Structure 1
Amino acid sequence: MASPSSTRQPSTKSLFTASFVGTSIEWYDYYIFGTAAALAFGTLFFPQASSTAATLAAFATFAVGFVARPLGAAIFGHFGDRIGRKSMLILTLILTGGATFLIGVLPTYAAIGVGAPLLLVVLRIVQGFGVGGEWGGAILIATEHASPRRRAVYGSFAQFGVPIGVLTSNLAFLAVSGMSDEAFLSYGWRIPFLLSVLLVILGLVVRRRLHDAPEFERVKERNATSKVPFTELARRQPRNLALASLASIAPPAVGYTVIVYMLTYGTTVVGFERSTLLTLILASTVVWIATIIGAAVLSDRYGSKLLYIVGAVTAVLWPLPMFGLVNTGNAGAALAAFVVAAMVQGIMAGAQGGLFTEIFDVRFRYSGISIAYQLGGMIGGALTPIVATALFEAYRSSTAIALYVAGLSLISLVAVLGVRKIAAPEAESAEPRTPSPSTG
C-alpha cells in the first residue's frame, strides 16, 4: 500500500518555494562571508599581516568552508539517501544559519587576539558543512516530484537560490557600504550576518511543510535503501561521480572570480568604488536568474547535457574578455563583463539540476549529486580567489588569472562530454505525474 506521502502531490508553487527559499537563505549566508572576506576580514582578523598576506588569509578562511562542504555532502547525502530528503534540508538550514549569526557577534582580533581568527575558521567550517548537504537535497525535493520531461525546470528552482543569495547579500552590504570605513569596520559588516536569523526562521516554516517524493518513498517501502550509499555509489558509478565532480568546477570558478575576487581586484587595482562594484554585480544577477529559466526550459527540450556543454564552452571563452572590460575602469564595460559572466553561469545552472538527477541512481542520488557538486565547488570556488590573488602578485597582470579560470572551465567541458545518463527503473515503471498548480 502506498504511503500517504506517495499519493499526495505538492503543488508546483510549494516545491518552488521550499526549494528556492531555503537555498536562497543558505547562499545568502555563504556569500555574505565571501563579501566580508573581500572587504573587511583581512583588516579585522589578520591585522598584523601585510595587505596581500591579510587578503590571502581572509580568502583562505573563506576557502575552509569549501573544504568542509564535501564532508557535509557525504554525511548529509548518506542520511538523505537512507532517511529522507526533507529532514536533512531542515538540519542544513539550522547549521548554516546558526553559524552565520554567530559570525555576526564574533569578537575581532583587537578584542581577543588569535582566538578571533580561530573562531572564525570554526564557524566557517560549520557553515560550509551545512551548505554541503543543502544543494543536493533542494534539487531532489523538486526533481523527484517532476516527470522526466520537466526535471530541468524543476531542478532550476534550487538554482535560483544562488543568484538570489548573491543579490540579497550584495543588497545587504550595499546598504552599509555608504558608511565611513571606521563605522563599517566597527559594526557595519556585522549587520548582514545578524539579519540572517530572520531568513532562517522563514526557511524553516516553509520546509516543514514538505514531504519526500514518491520515487524515493517507493524505495523506502521496498526496504531497498542503500546501507552505505557512498560505498555503493563509488562501486557502481565511479565514472559519473568523477566526471560530474569535474564538470562542476566551471560555474563556481567563473562565479567566485566575479563575486569575491573582483571586489578586491576592482577596488585595489582598477580603482572602482566598493559601492559601484556591488551595484554592478547586483544588477547582473537579474540576467543570471533569467538565463537559468531559459536554459532550464531549453534543457527539457533539447537535453540537459547539450545545454551544459554550451555553458562550459562560453566559460572557457569569456574570462579574457571579462578582465579586459573590467580593466578599462569604465562602469558600463564592467557591467557588460559581469552580465555575460552571469549568463555563462546561468546556462550551466539551468541544466545542472536535471542533468545530475539523470546520471545517478535514486538509491544513492543524494550522495552522488551532493558530493559531485561540492567537490567541483571546492576546486572552482575555494581555490580561485586565492590563486587569483597569488597570480596577480606574481605577474601584476590579470591575463594569468583569466587563463587559469579558462583552464578550469576547459576541464569541466571535457568532463561533461563523458557523463552518461542512466535508466531509472522506479521512474520508468511508475512515472510520477507533474505536480498540479492547484493541488496542495
Structure 2
Amino acid sequence: MAPPTTPHAPSKRSIFAASFLGTSIEWYDYYIFGTAAALAFGTLFFPDFSPVAGTLAAFATFAVGFVARPLGAAIIGHFGDRIGRKSMLIITLLMTGGATFAIGLLPTYAAIGVAAPLLLVLLRLVQGFGVGGEWGGAVLIATENASPRRRALYGSFAQLGLPVGVLLSNLAFLAVSGMSDADFLSYGWRIPFIVSIVLVVVGFLVRSRLQDAPEFQEVKKEKAVSRVPIADLVRRQPRALILASLASIASPAVGYTVIVYMLSYGTTVVGFARTTLLTLILFSTVAWGGAIMASAVLADRFGSKRVFGIGVLTAVIWPLPMFALVSTGDTIAALIAFMVAAVVQGLMAGAQGGLFTEIFEVRTRYSGISIAYQLGGMIGGAVTPMAATALFGAYKSATPIALYVSALALVSLLATVGLPRAARPRPDGTGSALPPVAGVPAREAAR
C-alpha cells in the first residue's frame, strides 16, 4: 500500500528535496573541514609542530567531530523519536551550518595564540553534534513516506547527499586552489566556509515545509511514543544496535581514506598536485552517485541486506589495489583507484538507508539508525586518517594502511552477516509499523 495521499501528504519531489538537498548541505559543511584539515589547518592552527605532527593534530581536530556525532545521534535521536523528525532536521541544519560559517571567520594561531585551535575544536564539536542527528532524520523523512517496495530507493535520497557534499566541497576548494600558497593560507581557505551560509538558508526553506510521515504520526496518535527511546532500544534490540554499528564501519573507512588521507598522502608522498587530486576526487563522485542509485534499485529488488553485504565485501578487497594504483603517481591509475572506491562506497550507501529502517522498530528508529551510523562513522572515519598517517610514518609504506582499512571492512562484513531480519509490524508501534503491500507476500513486503 502506498503512503496515504492526504492533502497534507508530501509529494515525492518535496521528500527528495528535503532529504537530498538538506543532507548535501550538511555534508558539504562537514567535508570542507576535512579538506581544510589536509591542506591548511596544520600550518594555520598548529604552526609550532613538525609537518607530520601538525598534520596529525589537524586530523585529530577533524576526528573530534566524529566523537561528537554519537552524542548528537543519541540526543537528537531521542527527541526525533519523541517529538518528530521535521523539527530535529531543522535544528541539525542550523547547528552545522552556523558552526561552519563561524569557522570561516575564525582567527588563526598567529592572531590569538592557543585560543585559535581551542575554538576550532569547539566549533568542530558543534558541527559533529549536528551531523550526528542529520543522517537518521533525513533517511527517515524519506523511507517512512515510502512503500516497503521502494524503501531503499527513497532512503538513497539522503545518501546522495554524501557524494554531492564531496562534490561541492571539492568544487569550492578547486575554485581557490589556484591561488598562491600565501593567499590560500591567508584568506582563500575561508571562502568555502563563509559561502556555506547561502546553502543553509536554502535548506531551511525546504525543510520548514515538511511534515512527519504518517506512520510516525500514527504512533503519536496512539500515544505509543517511547518515553526514553535509547533505553527501550538497548532493552529490546541490543543485538541489532551493535551489529548495525559494526556494519557501518566499512563505508567511512574507505571514504575518508580517499577524501581526507589521500589528499595528504598524494601530495606529500606521491607528488601529485593539489588541484589534480581534488579534480580526480571530483570525477569519482559521479560514479559514487550512480552507484548509490543502482544499489538502491537492486536493494528494493533483491533485498537491502544482500546488496549491502556485497558492497562491504568489495570494501575488504579494494584497499590494496587502490593504494598500489595511487602510489604509481600516474593520473589515470589514480582516477581508476578513486572511481572504483566510489562504486564500493555507493554499493553500501544505496542499500543502507532501507536496511537500517527495516531492522529498527518505529518507536526507537531515529535513535537506532542514528547511533549505529555514527558509531560506525566514528570508528571508520575518525580514526582512519590518523591511523594512516601514523602507519606511514612508522613503516614508510602504504601497504599497512591498506591492510588496516581492509581489516575494518572485514569487521563490517561479519556484522552484516549477523544482522537481523526486518522488524515485523505491530499495532503498538514496536515493529516496523509499515502496512503490507496489497498482493505482495509478507516476506516481499518486509524487504
| TM more than 0.5 | yes
Give the corresponding residue for 2:413.
413
Which amino acid counterpart does residue 284 of structure 1 have in structure 2? S
Which amino acid counterpart does residue 176 of structure 1 have in structure 2? V
Give the corresponding residue for 1:129.
129
Asked if the contact 2:215/2:433 (under 8 Å) is kept, the reply is no
Give the corresponding residue for 2:191.
191
Q: Provide the secondary structure at the position in 2 that maps to 1:425.
A: coil
Q: Distance in 1 between matches of 2:271 and 2:148?
A: 49
Q: Distance in 1 between matches of 2:12 and 2:298?
A: 19
Asked if the contact 2:215/2:434 (under 8 Å) is kept, the reply is no
Give the corresponding residue for 1:387.
387
Q: Could you tell me how far 1:297 is from its partner in structure 2?
A: 0.2
Q: Distance in 1 between matches of 2:362 and 2:436?
A: 13
Q: Could you tell me how far 1:204 is from its partner in structure 2?
A: 0.2
Q: Could you tell me how far 1:10 is from its partner in structure 2?
A: 1.2
Q: CA RMSD in A?
A: 1.3
- State how 1:282-431 maps to structure 2 within 5 Å: 282-420=282-420, 421-425=422-426, 430=435
Asked if the contact 2:18/2:206 (under 8 Å) is kept, the reply is yes
Q: Provide the secondary structure at the position in 2 that maps to 1:262.
A: helix
Give the corresponding residue for 2:256.
256
Q: Deviations over 1:387-440 (max 9, x none)?
A: 00000000000000000000000000000101112112366674599xxxxxxx
Q: Distance in 2 between matches of 1:283 and 1:303?
A: 29
Q: Deviations over 1:53-108 (max 9, x none)?
A: 00000000000000000000000000000000000000000000000000000000
Q: Distance in 2 between matches of 1:405 and 1:174?
A: 27
- State how 1:218-229 maps to structure 2 within 5 Å: 218-229=218-229
RCO (CA 8 Å, sep 6+): is it higher in 1 or 2?
A: 1
Q: Could you tell me how far 1:28 is from its partner in structure 2?
A: 0.1
Asked if the contact 1:145/1:432 (under 8 Å) is kept, the reply is no
Q: Distance in 2 between matches of 1:424 and 1:37?
A: 45
- Distance verdict in 2 for CA 1:42–1:429, change over 3 Å: closer
Which amino acid counterpart does residue 282 of structure 2 have in structure 1? L
Asked if the contact 2:261/2:388 (under 8 Å) is kept, the reply is yes
Q: Could you tell me how far 1:272 is from its partner in structure 2?
A: 0.0
Q: Could you tell me how far 1:8 is from its partner in structure 2?
A: 3.1
Give the corresponding residue for 1:182.
182
Which amino acid counterpart does residue 51 of structure 2 have in structure 1? S
Q: Distance in 1 between matches of 2:70 and 2:6?
A: 30
Q: Could you tell me how far 1:42 is from its partner in structure 2?
A: 0.1
Q: Distance in 2 between matches of 1:430 and 1:33?
A: 42
Q: Distance in 2 between matches of 1:75 and 1:170?
A: 31
Unaligned runs of 5+ in 2: 439-447
Give the corresponding residue for 1:33.
33
Q: Distance in 1 between matches of 2:189 and 2:297?
A: 38
TM-score, normalised to structure 1's length? 0.96
Q: Provide the secondary structure at the position in 1 that maps to 2:195.
A: helix
Q: Distance in 2 between matches of 1:332 and 1:18?
A: 36
Asked if the contact 1:6/1:214 (under 8 Å) is kept, the reply is no
Which amino acid counterpart does residue 291 of structure 2 have in structure 1? T
Q: Distance in 2 between matches of 1:356 and 1:12?
A: 21
Give the corresponding residue for 1:94.
94
- Distance verdict in 2 for CA 1:85–1:431, change over 3 Å: farther
Q: Deviations over 1:193-223 (max 9, x none)?
A: 0010000000000001100001100000011
Q: Deviations over 1:261-283 (max 9, x none)?
A: 00000000000000000000000
Which amino acid counterpart does residue 150 of structure 2 have in structure 1? R
Which amino acid counterpart does residue 9 of structure 1 have in structure 2? A
Q: Deviations over 1:279-302 (max 9, x none)?
A: 000000000000000000000000
Which amino acid counterpart does residue 374 of structure 1 have in structure 2? Q
Asked if the contact 1:177/1:184 (under 8 Å) is kept, the reply is yes
- Distance verdict in 2 for CA 1:5–1:136, change over 3 Å: farther
Asked if the contact 2:361/2:433 (under 8 Å) is kept, the reply is no
Q: Provide the secondary structure at the position in 1 that maps to 2:101.
A: helix
Q: Distance in 2 between matches of 1:5 and 1:121?
A: 46
Give the corresponding residue for 1:275.
275
- Distance verdict in 2 for CA 1:432–1:9, change over 3 Å: farther
Q: Distance in 2 between matches of 1:8 and 1:29?
A: 31
Give the corresponding residue for 2:114.
114
Q: Distance in 2 between matches of 1:59 and 1:70?
A: 18
Give the corresponding residue for 2:241.
241
- Distance verdict in 2 for CA 1:5–1:96, change over 3 Å: farther
